[in-house]
Amino acid sequence: MTKTLLTASILALCAGTAGAQVKIALDSPADLEGSGSYVWANAFSTYLNEHGMEAEEYQRGALGGDDEVFDQVSQGLLEVGMAPLAITASIDTLIFGLRLPYFFSGMEEIDQALYDGGMLAAINEGLDGSGVQVLGVDTVGAASGIFNTRHAITSMEDMADLRMRALDESQIALFEAWGSNGTIVSWAEVPNALQTGVADGYLNPAFVPLLFGHTDFITHFTPAEISPSLRIAIVSEDWYEGLSEEDRATVDAAVDAANAANRAWLGSQTGVYEQLEEAGVTITEMSPEARAAFQEASAATYDDIVTADQLAQWQAALGR
């Protein structure tokens, strides 16, 4: 309660002293080299400040965790928050199509679905009236791979003795489809879980152990290219709709600038594997045959992630 009251007091003070200031809650360290989420947020705030809208970034955790940031955005206390995909899923699960394993070939297809295929508009239609809209989808690295603390992974058979950290029940279903098992662990508890054996690994893009200091206990990585590594920027629905036509156009242009910076950052992410190896992480490549086996097994979990109608929407957005 004390933390919630303190956060509310900070936000009220900001609102009272900064006028039209746009507050942006970060979800990662302010690292322009290692964090795609921060690249998006920084490009967004920079564009606003350069075009007459005062914006300020708040470091990760300063305004609370993901749930608190969501609550503040939905109430209009906070304008913009960087957040996980799942944060809006309690309202509508269409966004989970972005988590389908082996469904997208890369960010080009994701942008095709979101913009050319109208899926970002469809996601926001499902959120209408919730107090929150999705401003943009940002990549935080190459497609996720398999990290673990025990041994190399070259095939699904190698997953059998691992208990993986899961985001939710749908990811547990994915691990079970691979012949493994999972346990739901919050991100804050991941280091302790990995060091104590509560979990043996997780799915993430290659940079994550480097950014969060996990290379002291993560020992193996397989670049399995399972699903895109994405986060979202959420915006206060009331704030955005209450903007003048000119200011809304500025915000929309800032989103375009942030998307462009984020995609350019992804293309510059070379040398991450070398950094992992220098930190003592063994990288094991997967054969095309092994990858195909993972892909086939993963397709059986789509029903655990989205509904049949939602899957059809995503397929149609890609012309499949």
pLDDT at 90: 87
Note the CATH architecture for domain 145-227+271-317.
3-Layer(aba) Sandwich (3.40)
CATH number of 2-91+130-140+229-267: 3.40.190.170
pTM as predicted: 0.85
pLDDT at 62: 95
pLDDT at 271: 87
Could you report the per-residue pLDDT of 101-125, keeping only the tens digit for each?
Answer: 999 999 999 999 999 999 999 999 9
Please determine whether the domains at 2-91+130-140+229-267 and 145-227+271-317 fall in the same fold group of CATH.
Answer: yes
Within 13 Å and on the Cβ side, how many CA atoms surround 285? 4
Give every residue of the chain whose pLDDT is below 70, as ranges. Answer: 1-20
Q: Residue 231, SS3?
A: strand
Helices 288-299, 169-177: crossing angle, 10 deg rounding: 130
The residue ranges of every structural domain in the chain are: 2-91+130-140+229-267, 145-227+271-317
Q: Residue 297, SS3?
A: helix
Q: Residue 184, SS3?
A: strand
Could you report the per-residue pLDDT of 239-298, keeping only the tens digit for each?
Answer: 999 999 999 999 999 999 999 999 999 988 888 999 999 999 999 999 999 999 999 999
CA nearest 282: which of 291, 293, 274, 270? 274
CA 309 from chain centre, in angstroms, equals 23
Contact 79, 236 (CB under 8 A): yes
Q: What percent of the chain has pLDDT over 90?
A: 84
